[in-house]
Amino acid sequence: MKQHELPAPKGSNKNRKRVGRGYGSGSVKTAGRGQKGQKSRSGGGVRIGFEGGQNPLIQRMPFKRGFTNRFRVEYEIINVGDLERLGLESDVTPELLVSLGAVAGRKAAVDGVRVKLLGEGEITRPLNVAVHKASAGARTKIEAAGGRVEVIS
């Protein structure tokens, strides 16, 4: 027996109900549309989102509208003070920060976690920091401590 020769299970194929075709059909007069009203008429009905003239939900809540940029790049944030608190001595890379748990690594991009360095807090030891972005304040604080900031493209 081949697949196309298998019989359909009992009850799987039903004839469509032909409404409004006389008393013998079992669905006469209103043809399953109920009594009067816009939805009972030929061509009747309302568009999607129409609420009978009441201000629709999409208009009542304009903050829900808008657009989500699919190409937005998310960065994990770390501050200069966090680097001081971690007690790092050598080169700082995004991979090192993820392994230490300093950045969560939730917002993983195509090529791993992207890290942005911000300038909150103070730093005393010289560090060589490699991050994807750095604020001007963070850059000046690290360079004042004798380190350098390298921006990864």
Q: Give the pLDDT mean for 44-51.
A: 91
Q: What total of structural domains would you count in the chain? A: 1
pLDDT for position 106 = 65
Residue 127 counted as domain residue: yes
What is the tens place of the pLDDT at every residue in 67-89? 888 888 889 999 999 999 998 88
Strand pairing of 91-92 and 128-131?
parallel
pLDDT of residue 98: 86
Looking at residue 74, what is its pLDDT? 86
CB-count exposure of residue 36 (10 Å: 0-12, 13-18, 19+):
exposed
Residue 102 in any domain: the answer is yes
* pLDDT tens digits along 51-69: 999 999 988 988 888 888 8
Q: What digits encode the pLDDT tens for the residues 79-125?
A: 999 999 998 888 999 888 888 888 886 655 445 789 999 999 999 99
Give domain status of residue 41, yes or no. Answer: no
Tokens linked to 90: 């050598």
Q: Which two tokens stand for residue 8?
A: 């359909």
pLDDT of residue 107: 58
Query: What is the separation of C-alpha 105 from the centre of its chain, rounded to a whole number of angstroms?
Result: 17
**For 111, phi and psi rounded to 5 degrees?**
-110, 40
Q: Is residue 92 part of a domain?
A: yes
As a whole number of angstroms, the distance between CA 133 and CA 124 comes to 21
Q: For residue 143, give its domain range.
A: 76-151
List the CATH number of the domain containing 112.
3.100.10.10
pLDDT at 113: 82
Name which residue leads in pLDDT, 68 or 10.
10
pLDDT exceeds 60 at position 149 = yes
**Residue 58 resides in a domain:** no
Give the predicted TM-score (pTM) of the model. 0.56
Is 81 a member of any domain? yes
Nearest to 37 by CA among 23, 52, 27: 52
- Cα gap 129→142, rounded to integer Å: 8
Average pLDDT of span 26-35: 87
Average pLDDT over residues 113-138: 93
Per-residue tokens: 81: 């003070």
> CA–CA distance from 63 to each of 49, 58, 60, 104 (Å)?
17, 9, 9, 29
